[in-house]
Amino acid sequence: MSDTSVFERDRAYMLLLDLILSGELATEQALSERKLADNLQMGRTPVREAIRRMTREGLIEVRPARGTYVRELTIDEVQEIYEARIGIEGMAAFLAAERGPTNAFPEFRKQFEDMIAKPADFDLTETHKVGQDFHIEIFRAAKNRYLVEIYEPLRLRHRVTLGLPRFYNHERVRESVKEHLAILDAIECSDGAKARQLICDHLIKGLDVRSRIFEQLAAGHQPDLKKKVDG
């Protein structure tokens, strides 16, 4: 396969992923390879390969006699994803504290402190994105490529779960900044046990909020995303 073909395949994958995360490709909408290729202004082959990859990763599913769709996870699957993340990210945080932070940690500290001091200067999408990037940076600090290989598909499934950024809980996003800063402090202090506990607690709170939003959506209710989150 030529370098150009690989580039086009990867570009198609990222463009499709953006469409899914933005909510432009709804779970009830059958995917047309031809229409997607036309909309993305690229050939059908890289789009087909991107769809196949997403199918392997569990982001897209083929429904017999019905077509290809963005996969909608059940509440049980959401819980399983979080349970897996708690184990994997807990170990990553522990190893990061043992092996030391990366050069990117000071910039994350500055961003978290700025977000806490002046929350109105940062929108929810930006705040959430910085938090996601910090989770990835923890894995870089852990220096374990196998953990990264396990984490990446889980991370994608997690992002697609509720079609973010459409369903942020405002209070939860703001609270998570303080939690990220505490995790960063523990890693920089080489306290592996504390770093692991803090990130596990952080993910458990996230699961609780996601579960409530998911249940409200399943019941046909619009989630109250500005409501104060307990805990």
What residue numbers bound the domain in which 22 lies?
Answer: 3-70
Please tell me whether residues 82 and 100 are part of one structural domain.
Answer: yes
Please tell me whether residues 80 and 177 are part of one structural domain.
Answer: yes
Please tell me whether residues 101 and 203 are part of one structural domain.
Answer: yes
Please tell me the total count of domains within the chain: 2
pLDDT number for residue 228: 39
The residue among 26 and 93 whose pLDDT is bigger is 93
Percent of the chain having pLDDT more than 70?
A: 84
Q: What is the pLDDT of residues 131-176, one digit of tens each?
A: 989 999 999 999 999 999 898 878 777 666 555 445 556 777 889 9
End position of a domain, from candidates 24, 46, 70: 70
- The amino acid sitting at 231 is G
In terms of average pLDDT, the best of 45-54, 119-128, 212-221 is: 45-54
Mean pLDDT of 209-231: 60
End position of a domain, from candidates 53, 70, 87: 70
pLDDT number for residue 195: 98
Across 1-5, 98-102, 129-133, least confident range: 1-5
pLDDT number for residue 95: 98
> CA nearest 172: which of 216, 140, 141, 213?
213
